[in-house]
Structure 1
């Protein structure tokens, strides 16, 4: 791991290591240290003792240089992501490109003045003054915790806004995919980042999680991951700012006027890209009964053509899921749904962590496979009668992250935008579509309403200061 840039542990320290396995080959590809509480505390103390003084130009330069290094080493980055996560090379190369985008957007945002000016003589009660605002780094340290499903891009979305705002961060990546985070940190150090501004600690969450949440040096906790852990963090954080980006149960809603060729292509891409392991993946296909038959046929046809297998095969459209346990969960949920009356039309075949893209029809909203977040390549099809029922079904879960709607009717689009209880509505696009710059986040069990995306994260990672001056 890296404590202020210093390498700590070599992954061979007896029992104090966490092995990392390739989900496809099941071979051990390495190990990382299991941090002690003292090491975590050292990371926070070192970060807190350092006061960054980087100018905007210097911060932008570091992020631009890191982006260039990523672009020069796309194959290395993609190979590492594939090795520890099981994602196919197509998905890993796409993620590596997105990481470069995050860095470049961060560099650009640094160069924008983020203050405001208010004239005070706007009412008879005003004065000849002006009020100004400016954003300042947090007084304490940011504690960041990232999940397995985007091993480097999730890390970039925490680290880049921190660097851009002259903050200090201690990052704990998922113990399943730690090497991408460490590699990203090394690239930033190479690009000129003062090492005290970023530490990466690896370890067993059961041992170190509470320290990451309650250390007195922590000013803000930013977490991406599951709902249960997110709510635990909220309960432990106390008087600290918390940014939680949690799960999703995102629908694609296909109306009777939709272009079915387009809608079915979006549906399977949204379901199977990244092995279905996206909080914004299509997890429910809500289809108008007038077109459900033809739509279902097209989804099955395209699913069977979706090549899954060896993640290193450049022809593969999908690799493995994160581990065999996850694949077994998807398999069991589909079997449960079939036992309750759903029809299995494709897939639900498993070998280790390799799980086939799966389509089930005649799904009802109360079935576990769609009531809960099924975080894998499963396409459950739910039929509805009219837009009122579509909206009711869509809103009928604990989640509220994103959505996709396929229709050309402006009156329907307007209703979906206004009435779906989600953070994002994408028209004729997958639920997960966004730029790395734009606001992203959910409501209800999908998060606290704070947005990610480089621009919004930079706001969350700063304190707003207001001052005023006489102005004739």
Structure 2
């Protein structure tokens, strides 16, 4: 089934399993051809209130095995319907079908690892007779769920970003209210329906789409919400941090991730990582390669090889099996990317491959001789751009890499272990990957950034489960 034949229908959010019926609908359009993929009934402030009340009222308390079983059943159902999910992702996000299928595989891993972690006992034991002031007691710890959490997800990974937030919460027993991006809400709703089908008690999950002032802002600021987990822009993330009040806040914001190629690097590997990191998912990943820093002695050779590699990344109809790069999320985003590329050219850079735009479709674009002060490499450019910057020394590479407001991820291509270790130590980033793209990780490993990329609180299944719970201690005579 191609994206052009994806079933059109009306979609509905849910308050604890009950459909939100409304006369007002939001149309979700394909970024590729602007057709209506579906429309969603909009929720209002009263629906947000009901979602909180239902979560607080509670219901069946889930055992570890219950949580494991529900999450694992969801995983099985997802795999049975993975092509349906992939087609929907591609249709509403404009991602090529290859990337959409890849995303269902990542979501599978989140569900698998979260189900496994749900079965593990995460308690600790502390003996109290370890000092002259001690007693014959033992202190034990256990983790308790929060009363209710709010998860706000972005458009760029319509499935994986959602599972990364709501599944760790469910794994520890914390009820969730989900507010997906208005640009890609259909996949999120379909996943919620899958969880209900897998046996999740309705009070554990609600999904709402509606105006910011009706849904996101009141929920974010409500004192009954004990945690807000947000992935999105720096401006919105900082607004949430300043207005959320006395609660936990998890912010996963932008990235401006460098790939640093040293002169001793394996050239074929470096070029492959640069292309994959810049163009996969249409370049719309917070951990995508946003800046390619190449040492002067191999610079010309690298740029020539990258241009040849970029020619392999066919752009076009996201539903076409041969397409490797689909659209960005909308035409306005593509125009912005086109604009910052032109600004860089005005500062002396050269577009050596690609650069053409049609609506929301922007060709994979290689830009050489980009000044480190150009807007496209100072701010986050969320699209298939591969800006190449020349540097002379490792010190200069470190200085350029650390010079922006962001500190999410980075990649280093080198065969010199001493250089690798130095860069791990001196790059101020949440992640430093040697001979890999900045975004490499597994779904259970810690992930998150510093500076404007986030508060340093990590995501990934294991760390997120910790965030969606709190530690209770108790002691007994021993």
Question: Do they superpose with TM above 0.5?
Answer: yes
Q: Which residue of 2 aligns with 1:117?
A: 125
Matched, 1:447 2:454: yes
Retained in 2: the 8 A contact 1:9–1:32? no
Q: Which residue of 2 aligns with 1:175?
A: 182
Q: Which residue of 2 aligns with 1:77?
A: 85
Retained in 1: the 8 A contact 2:369–2:388? yes
How far apart, CA to CA, are the structure 1 residues paired with 2:316 and 2:336? 19
Deviations 1:30-62 (CA, angstroms, capped at 9, x unpaired): 211222111111111111111551010110000
Deviations 1:288-340 (CA, angstroms, capped at 9, x unpaired): 00111111111111112211101111111111110000000000000011011
How far apart, CA to CA, are the structure 2 residues paired with 1:21 and 1:173? 15
How far apart, CA to CA, are the structure 2 residues paired with 1:238 and 1:56? 31
Using the TM superposition, give the Cα deviation of residue 210 of structure 1 relative to its aligned residue in structure 2, in angstroms: 1.2
How far apart, CA to CA, are the structure 1 residues paired with 2:348 and 2:21? 53
Any idea what SS the aligned residue of 2:409 has?
Answer: coil
Retained in 2: the 8 A contact 1:175–1:204? no
Q: Which residue of 2 aligns with 1:30?
A: 38
Q: Among 226, 229, 232, which residue is 2:239 paired with?
A: 232
How far apart, CA to CA, are the structure 2 residues paired with 1:333 and 1:204? 30
Retained in 2: the 8 A contact 1:41–1:215? no
Any idea what SS the aligned residue of 1:286 has?
Answer: strand
How far apart, CA to CA, are the structure 1 residues paired with 2:126 and 2:298? 54
Deviations 1:218-257 (CA, angstroms, capped at 9, x unpaired): 1110000010000000011111110000000000000010
How far apart, CA to CA, are the structure 1 residues paired with 2:148 and 2:64? 20
Q: Which residue of 1 aligns with 2:63?
A: 55
How far apart, CA to CA, are the structure 1 residues paired with 2:104 and 2:344? 36
Q: Which residue of 1 aligns with 2:221?
A: 214
How far apart, CA to CA, are the structure 1 residues paired with 2:275 and 2:340? 19
Deviations 1:164-190 (CA, angstroms, capped at 9, x unpaired): 011111000000000000000010001
Deviations 1:370-410 (CA, angstroms, capped at 9, x unpaired): 00000111011011111111111100000000000000111
Q: Among 146, 158, 162, which residue is 1:155 paired with?
A: 162
How far apart, CA to CA, are the structure 1 residues paired with 2:155 and 2:425? 33
Q: Which residue of 2 aligns with 1:284?
A: 291
How far apart, CA to CA, are the structure 1 residues paired with 2:381 and 2:214? 28
Q: Which residue of 2 aligns with 1:126?
A: 134
Query: How high is the TM-score relative to the length of structure 1?
Result: 0.97
Any idea what SS the aligned residue of 1:431 has?
Answer: coil
Retained in 2: the 8 A contact 1:52–1:197? no
Output the aligned Cα RMSD.
1.0
Using the TM superposition, give the Cα deviation of residue 25 of structure 1 relative to its aligned residue in structure 2, in angstroms: 1.5
How far apart, CA to CA, are the structure 2 residues paired with 1:126 and 1:200? 50
Using the TM superposition, give the Cα deviation of residue 207 of structure 1 relative to its aligned residue in structure 2, in angstroms: 3.5
Matched, 1:19 2:31: no
How far apart, CA to CA, are the structure 2 residues paired with 1:243 and 1:184? 22
Q: Which residue of 2 aligns with 1:382?
A: 389
Query: How high is the TM-score relative to the length of structure 2?
Result: 0.96
Larger deviation: 203-212 or 449-458?
Answer: 203-212
How far apart, CA to CA, are the structure 1 residues paired with 2:189 and 2:28? 13
Retained in 1: the 8 A contact 2:16–2:55? yes
How far apart, CA to CA, are the structure 1 residues paired with 2:214 and 2:16? 21
Structure 2, unaligned runs of 5 or more: 1-12
